[in-house]
């Protein structure tokens, strides 16, 4: 059997993205930590990684916008998704107490999920954005300044030899991040499933009145449920936007295929990202 190449993710060992990768693909996988999202996409494009797992949206902080933009130009296919419950812990070098902490580091998306914690410590604790959650733990442990901590998964404390000062920092316990599994277009194979499936695509409609209404009507007229729509500005074209859509169904289904064909007739660009098994939600039902 051919050995599997590493799975790329943004962050350092112990990051939530690594946990998502293992939930999707199993604990035995090799992983390739990357500093930035750009590095993650490059690792797959350059065949240094077989696939990538990236966060795409969070139930508290919203969409991870940079990854939508990177998807638009990458020659990658979405092969799967997973919903990960995100529980944040305050982690510091051993011997540090909560009363000692004056600065807390973490990824900006993680900080945005813990606003109530910072509001409760306004004037005493400063939130500082960093590249990664787990990497922030490593950094504060290495610096050992005595007044710094990080927000990350509780498991990061054991990896980097730190103490957990507080848990459950997220603003709401139903805090989930949706992660995507990305594979190269040429090697991506269809993952069969017996449950509902999801399709993701991007389109650019003509910049004229009614074009977005007509584009969305391609799905509405066929009773296709849109589970998400996101707009991003088009570089070099002020006040024009690309629209990213997730829909319930598979592109192989005649109804969905006809809707996408109809969309192509109306739009200057339609980029198909893939059809894949829909993830299970907290209630045990599919996320559709």
Q: Domain-by-domain residue ranges, the chain?
A: 7-86+175-184, 89-167, 197-277
Place of tokens 């009773």: 223
pLDDT band per the 50, 70, 90 thresholds, residue 185: confident
pLDDT one-digit tens code per residue, 63-119: 999 999 999 999 999 999 999 999 999 999 999 999 999 999 999 999 999 999 999
pLDDT one-digit tens code per residue, 133-184: 999 999 999 999 999 999 999 999 999 999 999 999 999 999 999 999 999 9
Whether 9 sits among the annotated catalytic residues: the reply is no
Domain 197-277: top CATH class: alpha beta
Direct distance between the N- and C-terminal alpha carbons of the chain, in angstroms, rounded to an integer: 35
Q: Residues 179, 203, 219, 273: which is the catalytic one?
A: 179
Report residue 83 as tokens. 């919903």
Q: Residues 77, 177, 203, 219: which is the catalytic one?
A: 177
Buried b (16+ CB within 10 A) or exposed e, 209-248: eeebeebbebbeeeebeeeeebebeeeeeeeeebbbbbbb
CATH number for the segment(s) 7-86+175-184: 3.40.190.10
7-86+175-184 and 197-277 share one fold = no
pLDDT for residue 283:
45
Residue 280 scores a pLDDT above 80: no
Whether 177 sits among the annotated catalytic residues: the reply is yes
User: pTM of the full predicted structure?
Assistant: 0.88
pLDDT for residue 195:
83
Contact, 193 vs 38, CB < 8 A? no
What is the mean pLDDT of the segment spanning 129-134? 92
Contact, 150 vs 126, CB < 8 A? no
In percent, the amount of the chain with pLDDT more than 70 equals 93
What is the mean pLDDT of the segment spanning 232-244? 94
pLDDT for residue 78:
96
Residue 48 CA to its chain's centroid (Å): 21
pLDDT for residue 284:
46
Q: What architecture does CATH give domain 89-167?
A: 3-Layer(aba) Sandwich (3.40)
Please give the helix or strand (H or E) that residue 207 lies within, else none.
Answer: none
Residue 2 scores a pLDDT above 70: no
pLDDT one-digit tens code per residue, 240-272: 999 999 999 999 999 999 999 999 999 999 999
pLDDT band per the 50, 70, 90 thresholds, residue 5: confident
pLDDT for residue 111:
96
Residue 285 scores a pLDDT above 60: no
């Amino acid at each position: 059997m051919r050995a599997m190449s590493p799975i790329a993710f943004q962050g350092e060992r112990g990051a939530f993205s690594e946990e998502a990768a293992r939930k999707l693909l199993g604990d035995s996988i090799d992983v390739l930590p990357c500093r930035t999202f750009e590095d993650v996409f490059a690792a797959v494009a350059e065949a240094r990684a077989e696939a990538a797992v990236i966060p795409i949206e969070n139930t508290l902080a919203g969409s991870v916008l940079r990854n939508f933009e990177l998807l638009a130009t990458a020659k990658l296919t979405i092969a799967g998704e997973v919903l990960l419950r995100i529980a944040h812990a305050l982690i510091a070098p051993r011997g540090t107490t909560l009363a000692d902490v004056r600065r807390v580091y973490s990824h900006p998306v993680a900080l945005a999920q813990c606003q109530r914690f910072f509001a409760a410590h306004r004037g005493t604790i400063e939130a500082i954005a960093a590249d990664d959650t787990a990497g922030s733990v490593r950094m504060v442990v290495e610096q050992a300044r005595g007044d710094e901590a990080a927000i990350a998964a509780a498991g990061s404390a054991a990896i980097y030899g730190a103490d957990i000062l507080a848990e459950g920092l997220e603003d709401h316990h139903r805090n989930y991040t949706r992660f995507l599994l990305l594979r190269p277009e040429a090697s991506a194979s269809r993952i069969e499933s017996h449950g509902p499936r999801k399709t993701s695509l991007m389109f650019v409609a003509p910049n004229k009145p009614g074009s977005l209404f007509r584009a969305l009507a391609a799905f509405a007229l066929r009773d296709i449920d849109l589970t998400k729509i996101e707009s991003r500005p088009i570089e070099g074209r002020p006040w024009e936007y690309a629209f990213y859509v997730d829909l319930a169904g598979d592109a192989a289904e005649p109804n969905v295929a006809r809707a996408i064909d109809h969309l192509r007739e109306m739009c200057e660009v339609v980029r198909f990202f893939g059809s894949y098994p829909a993830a299970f939600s907290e209630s045990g039902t599919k996320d559709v």
